[in-house]
């Protein structure tokens, strides 16, 4: 068992957006700060630093997590996905928008953009578990995020648009089998 000491940095190895990465961290460094400052993933925003606003949401081993509530050492050996890795997972590549990102753009669900990365990461995780949500369900999922600009209506529309498009694509695929 590794003994952690506060007076030295400790190695962390992880899969970050599909790429193996290794860096060192102090035992008390938050995952949000580690991603931004050690690994250059500046799309992960730090808002309230209390897990309330949702701006720092990332996926750890496929599950949406608040990066400001986790220590960097907790992701040693894990798979972490940030907003920078979302496009490839949702039908795009590094130079294209994924379907969720494109829907946010199409529905004008982006204003200042500070909360957008966290909302997109939560929505990506949530739509895998709830592929055909109602508007009320989308609003309930969004209740864990603070957005001061959009009023949430275009965000809800974008998420519902993606859910409907994905359901239609699955139905078309099933017809051709």
pLDDT-flagged residues of the chain (< 50): none
Same topology between domain 10-84 and domain 86-172: no
* Class of the CATH-defined domain 10-84: alpha beta
* Domain made up of 86-172: CATH architecture: Orthogonal Bundle (1.10)
Q: What is the pTM of this model?
A: 0.88
Q: Where exactly are the structural domains of the chain?
A: 10-84, 86-172
Contact predicate 154/107, CB 8 Å: yes
- DSSP helix/strand/coil, 16: strand
Helices then strands, each counted (H, E), the chain: 6, 5
User: Percent helix, strand, coil in the chain (nearest 5)?
Assistant: 40, 15, 40
């Amino acid at each position: 068992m590794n003994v952690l000491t506060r007076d030295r940095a400790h190695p962390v190895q992880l899969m970050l957006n599909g790429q193996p990465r290794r860096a060192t961290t102090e035992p008390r460094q938050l995952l949000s700060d580690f991603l931004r400052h050690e690994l250059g993933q500046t799309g992960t925003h730090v808002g309230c630093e209390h897990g309330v606003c949702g701006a720092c949401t990332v996926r750890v081993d496929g599950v949406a997590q608040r990066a400001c509530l986790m220590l960097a050492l907790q992701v040693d050996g894990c798979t972490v996905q940030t907003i920078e890795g979302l496009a490839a997972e949702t039908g795009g590549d590094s130079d294209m928008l994924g379907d969720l990102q494109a829907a946010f753009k199409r529905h004008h669900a982006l204003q200042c953009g500070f909360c957008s990365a966290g909302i997109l990461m939560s929505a990506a995780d949530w739509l895998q578990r709830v592929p055909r949500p109602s508007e009320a369900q989308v609003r309930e999922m969004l209740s864990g995020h603070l957005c001061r600009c959009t009023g949430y209506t275009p965000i809800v529309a974008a998420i519902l648009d993606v859910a409907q498009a994905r359901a239609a694509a699955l139905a078309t695929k099933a017809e051709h089998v």
